């Protein structure tokens, strides 16, 4: 199947919807449970941004590799990670994906290509490039993906990385989640222009801008980039415009900080990626209401199971603290 030109088939719609709901409900559960004070690690939520993770990861195969950031929940979930091990990690439990020692910013599951997360802004870029170089040297038909925020384009790694990846025609996707903010500082205070995709031209690679709330559009752009990378034609930069609904770190809203208004956030929430997909599915009669409900119930159950698993799991022993480092 040519994924990049694909219409929204019932199969693809189900896949994207399931992925979006898993990302959304996992983090909504964090919002609900955080006040209980059992999750002790800081959590950077991507509520509102799930269209990027779901769209990109749905265009990948299990063998393809992703490298994620401090805001890593949705990327790791969309790549297919087991929610039980992720929830247990948030609870600091021994059964967590980092054995309870990494927390929210250190989700991974290498068996399914979720290679880990770096909280160093711009840190994923050299990691994904190194992996892509190894894939190319071993003639593997796989791609490597660097997720990063708009803040990362202010790091040297972005410019050095794009240059090197272009020169060596590496099978790598640069996925910039442009939520317009680095912590609380808007991009207009940091950059002379905000169209991040245009920077690709300087490195002679394709640059695309997509609506990150439109999961199908993200999927198609990612699928095109994967095809190009697997044909040996090199990297692509995709700028996915999106909006972070919650505070930079933590489960709350942040309009009281004064850098954006309640109305701004409410307007963005209206453009919810799940709502957008549901509308498309309904308008084009792609799936029945019953199927959507079934998927939603399935995910709710999966989340409940992950919470029970996390709560019932043991903490690591004190003597394990220096193991696996
Ligand atoms: C090299 C580096 N500098 C500063 C920080 C502190 N810091 C953590 S997140 C963040 C903002 C990142 O913004 P962006 O890359 O746009 O990602 P977003 O949080 O919007 O997803 C900063 C400055 C860091 N982690 N690493
Ligand atoms: Mg940002």
Q: What total number of domains does the chain contain?
A: 1
Question: Stretch 44-64: mean pLDDT, rounded?
Answer: 98
Please identify, by atom number, the ligand 1 atom nearest to the C-alpha of residue 155. 1
Using the predicted structure, report yes or no on whether residue 84 has a pLDDT greater than 70: yes
176 C-alpha vs ligand 2 centroid, how far in Å?
9
Tell me whether residue 323 is in a domain: no
Range 270-295 average pLDDT: 98
**Is residue 32 predicted with pLDDT exceeding 70?**
yes
Give the C-alpha separation, 173 to 248, whole Å: 25
Please tell me the distance between residue 295's alpha carbon and the centre of ligand 2 in angstroms: 30
> For atom 6 of ligand 1, which residue has the closest CA?
121
Percent of the chain with pLDDT over 90: 96
319 located within any domain: no
Q: Is the CB of 161 under 6 A from ligand 1?
A: no
Q: Whose CA is nearest to atom 3 of ligand 1?
A: 121
Answer whether residue 68 is part of any domain: yes
Average pLDDT over residues 32-50: 98
Residue 314 inside a domain? The answer is no
Strands 172-178 and 236-241, how do they pair? parallel
Average pLDDT over residues 245-256: 97
Element (DSSP H or E) covering residue 124: helix 124-137
Q: Give the residue-averaged pLDDT of 198-220.
A: 98
Give a yes or no: residue 91 inside a domain: yes
| DSSP class of 79 | T
Phi, psi (deg, nearest 5) at residue 210: -130, 160
In a domain, 322, yes or no: no
- pLDDT band at residue 325, thresholds of 50, 70 and 90? confident
Mean pLDDT of 239-253: 98
User: Which pLDDT tens digit goes with each residue over 189-207?
Assistant: 999 999 999 999 999 999 9
Question: Which protein residues have their CB within 5 A of the ion that is ligand 2?
Answer: 149-150, 179, 181
Q: Which domain holds residue 39?
A: 3-309
Of all residues in the chain, what percent carry a pLDDT higher than 70? Answer: 98
- For residues 253 and 245, give the distance between their C-alpha atoms in angstroms, rounded to a whole number: 7
In a domain, 252, yes or no: yes
Identify the DSSP state of 316.
P
Token pair belonging to 125: 């870029």
CA dist., res. 151 & res. 44, Å (int): 15
* Res. 6 pLDDT band, cuts 50 70 90: low
Mean pLDDT of 214-223: 98
Residue 224: what pLDDT?
98
Q: Is the CB of 121 under 6 A from ligand 1?
A: yes
- Residue 54 within any structural domain of the chain: yes
Query: The domain spanning residue 203 has which CATH number?
Result: 3.40.50.970
- Using 50, 70 and 90 to split pLDDT, how confident is the model at 4? low
């Amino acid at each position: 199947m040519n994924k990049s030109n694909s219409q929204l088939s019932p199969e693809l719609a189900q896949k994207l919807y399931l992925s979006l709901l898993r990302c959304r409900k996992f983090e909504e559960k964090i919002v609900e449970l955080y006040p209980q004070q059992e999750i002790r690690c800081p959590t950077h939520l991507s509520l509102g941004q799930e269209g990027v993770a779901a769209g990109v990861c749905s265009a990948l195969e299990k063998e393809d590799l992703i490298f994620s950031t401090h805001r890593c929940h949705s990327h790791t979930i969309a790549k297919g990670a087991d929610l039980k091990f992720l929830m247990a990690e948030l609870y600091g439990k021994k059964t967590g994906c980092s054995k309870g020692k990494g927390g929210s910013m250190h989700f991974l599951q290498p068996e399914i290509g979720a290679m880990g997360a770096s909280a160093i802004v711009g840190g994923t870029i050299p990691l994904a490039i190194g992996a892509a170089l190894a894939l190319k040297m071993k003639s593997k038909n796989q791609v490597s993906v660097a997720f990063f925020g708009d803040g990362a384009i202010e790091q040297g790694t972005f410019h050095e990385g794009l240059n090197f990846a272009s020169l060596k025609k590496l099978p790598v996707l640069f996925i910039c989640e442009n939520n317009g903010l680095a912590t609380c500082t808007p991009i207009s205070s940091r950059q002379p222009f905000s169209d991040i995709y245009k920077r690709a031209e300087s490195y002679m690679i394709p640059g695309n801008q997509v609506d990150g709330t439109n999961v199908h559009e993200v999927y198609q752009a990612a699928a095109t980039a994967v095809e190009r990378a697997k044909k040996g034609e090199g990297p692509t930069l995709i700028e996915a415009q999106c909006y972070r609904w919650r505070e930079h770190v933590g489960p709350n809203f942040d309009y009281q900080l004064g850098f954006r208004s309640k109305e701004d956030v409410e307007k963005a929430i209206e453009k919810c990626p799940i709502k957008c997909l549901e509308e498309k599915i309904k308008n084009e009669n792609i799936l029945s209401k019953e199927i959507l409900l079934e998927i939603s119930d399935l995910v709710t159950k999966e989340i409940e199971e992950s919470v029970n698993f996390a709560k019932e799991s043991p903490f690591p022993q004190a003597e394990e603290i220096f193991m696996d480092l």
